[in-house]
């Protein structure tokens, strides 16, 4: 008998026990829906992280101070305070794989404008910084080399700082005071949004690095050096050149004694998405367990169905049905249960993903491959867990089945 002829028979058999069939499908429905929902949340989180990392700029190489070792006690990353403005200038001049570099000296300071004040990150940077970060202006103009050479009293404001200090007014040409120094606002940065770590990138004030060093913070140790490689293919070479040059400048012979850390954009992306991938795998595992439980439910109900329909099996065998026909019939019933549950589960998963996105504001990304995978997995569950009951039904002897009460 053709498997296609078994489908209407299976449909009638399942329809005769609608409540039991529905409850049996429930495990598959929940499992498939959970798979799609969890994968959508995980993929959305990864996409959001990658999008936020992209706001750092293209082909980024980030240099940060390393750990200070005193008497065998390692103080942790950033404690060495080993980077200088001269290091940044040397990287720009002596690393051919770099297209640009900028020192970064950051300090949280109070910014005062009119009758408002706001504590924010004040970053001293060079002219190249906004090119490296791919950070255009919404208004005004960036500071230039003359501002950097003369420690000019100018600044650029992030969108969040503008909102806190000026509201809806245009701050261009106005003044803010930082550490008692009046700085003219010559431009407003375009909005960047949150970083991969969740901090507000727009809550910042940019000033020439010399202004930060000589007028505001007065400290000759950099928070970091940010640079960009010529292109993606030069990223690894740029990291090697930066590390080698800094070892030479800091007189370090053993790489294990580095007082700095060099990270490329690939490492930053990998570190930021590692947690998301782990969470996604955990959520998918939980959803897979739900599917497994649904499959066990299908096996249980199909075994009950074989017992209940033993006489029916005997009659079919008596009128000429072969063992393989009986096997196909019950296997088709199990697969129909799983596929119906999968279809409903897909609808539930897609609807649940949109509901989560609307209610919680979480990013979700529903992909066609995840839907196809969940559907195929549901069918595989039906085949796997339906085979034993079908095999048991096919193995019944005709006389024993006809005599069964």
- Please give the pLDDT value at position 5: 64
- Kindly state the tokens that stand for 345: 């589960």
Residues 208 and 283 in one domain: no
Query: Is residue 154 one of the residues assigned to a domain?
Result: yes
CA torsion sign, 189 to 268 to 131 to 63? positive
Residues 217 and 277 in one domain: no
Q: Which residues pair with 30 in a beta bridge?
A: none
Q: How many domains does the chain have?
A: 2
Q: Cα separation of 78 and 118, whole Å?
A: 26
Question: Under 8 Å CB-to-CB from 202, ≥6 apart: which residues?
Answer: 158, 159, 160, 161, 189, 191, 192, 193
Q: CA angle at residue 268 from 161 to 74, to 5 degrees?
A: 95
- Kindly state the tokens that stand for 102: 């900028």
- Please give the pLDDT value at position 73: 44
Residues 241 and 96 in one domain: yes
Residues 285 and 335 in one domain: yes
Domain extent, residue 332, equals: 3-51+273-403
Query: Is residue 18 one of the residues assigned to a domain?
Result: yes
Residues 129 and 203 in one domain: yes
Query: Is residue 172 one of the residues assigned to a domain?
Result: yes
pLDDT tens over the chain, length 405 residues = 555 666 676 677 666 777 777 877 787 888 788 888 878 877 777 777 666 666 666 688 889 887 655 444 444 454 457 788 888 888 888 888 888 889 999 999 999 998 899 999 999 999 999 888 888 899 999 999 999 999 999 999 999 999 999 998 999 999 999 999 999 999 999 998 876 566 788 999 999 999 999 999 877 788 899 998 888 788 888 889 999 999 999 888 888 888 888 887 666 666 666 666 776 677 667 767 777 777 787 777 777 777 766 777 677 777 776 777 777 777 777 788 888 888 888 888 888 888 878 876 677 778 788 788 777 877 787 777 777 777 777 676 666 555 554
- Kindly state the tokens that stand for 331: 């296997």
CA torsion sign, 263 to 269 to 272 to 275? negative
In DSSP notation, 329-391 reads HHHHHHHHHHHHHHHHHHHHHHHHHHHHHHHH-------HHHHHHHHHHHHHHHHHHHHHHHH
Residues 18 and 114 in one domain: no
Q: CA angle at residue 22 from 21 to 24, to 5 degrees?
A: 65
- Please give the pLDDT value at position 282: 73
| Residue where a domain stops, chosen among 201, 230, 258 | 258
Residues 43 and 110 in one domain: no
| 326 neighbors 12 (Cβ within 8 angstroms) | no
CA torsion sign, 19 to 308 to 320 to 397? positive
Q: Cα separation of 124 and 216, whole Å?
A: 9
Tokens 């080698």 — which residue? 244
| 380 neighbors 63 (Cβ within 8 angstroms) | no
Query: Is residue 67 one of the residues assigned to a domain?
Result: no
What is the pTM assigned to this prediction? 0.60
Measuring CA to CA, which residue among 111, 108, 128 is closest to residue 57?
128
């Amino acid at each position: 008998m053709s498997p296609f002829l078994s489908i209407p028979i299976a449909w009638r058999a399942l329809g005769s026990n609608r409540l039991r069939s529905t409850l049996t499908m429930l495990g598959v429905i929940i499992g498939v829906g959970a798979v799609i929902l969890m994968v959508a949340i995980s993929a959305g989180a990864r996409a959001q992280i990658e999008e936020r990392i992209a706001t750092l700029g293209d082909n980024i190489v980030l240099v940060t101070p390393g750990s200070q070792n005193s008497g065998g006690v390692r103080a942790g990353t950033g404690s060495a305070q080993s980077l200088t403005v001269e290091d940044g200038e040397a990287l720009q001049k002596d690393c051919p794989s770099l297209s640009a570099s900028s020192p970064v000296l950051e300090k949280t300071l109070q910014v005062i404008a009119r009758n408002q004040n706001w504590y924010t990150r004040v970053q001293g940077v060079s002219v190249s910084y906004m090119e490296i970060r791919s950070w255009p202006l919404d208004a005004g103009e960036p500071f230039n080399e003359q501002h950097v050479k003369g420690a000019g009293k100018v600044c650029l404001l992030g969108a969040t700082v503008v909102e806190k200090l000026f509201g809806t007014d245009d701050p261009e040409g106005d003044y803010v005071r930082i550490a008692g120094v009046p700085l003219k606002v010559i431009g407003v940065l375009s909005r960047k949004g949150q970083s991969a770590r969740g901090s507000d990138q727009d809550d910042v004030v940019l000033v020439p690095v010399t202004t930060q060093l000589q007028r505001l913070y007065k400290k000759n140790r950099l928070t970091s050096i940010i640079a960009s490689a010529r292109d993606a293919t030069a990223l690894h070479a740029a990291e090697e050149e930066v590390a080698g040059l800094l070892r030479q400048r800091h007189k370090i012979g053993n790489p294990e004694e580095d007082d700095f850390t060099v990270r490329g954009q690939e490492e930053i992306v990998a570190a930021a998405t590692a947690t998301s991938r782990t969470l996604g795998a955990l959520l998918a595992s939980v959803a897979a367990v739900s599917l497994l439980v649904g499959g066990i439910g299908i096996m249980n109900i199909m075994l009950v169905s074989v017992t209940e329909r033993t006489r029916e099996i005997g009659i079919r065998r008596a009128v000429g049905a072969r063992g393989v026909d009986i096997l196909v019939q019950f296997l088709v019933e199990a697969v129909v249960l799983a596929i119906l549950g999968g279809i409903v589960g897909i609808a539930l998963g897609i609807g649940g993903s949109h509901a989560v996105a609307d209610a919680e504001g979480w990013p979700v990304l529903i992909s066609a491959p995840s839907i196809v995978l969940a559907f195929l997995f549901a069918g595989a569950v039906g085949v796997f867990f339906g085979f034993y009951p079908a095999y048991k039904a096919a193995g019944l002897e005709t006389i024993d089945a006809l005599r069964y009460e």
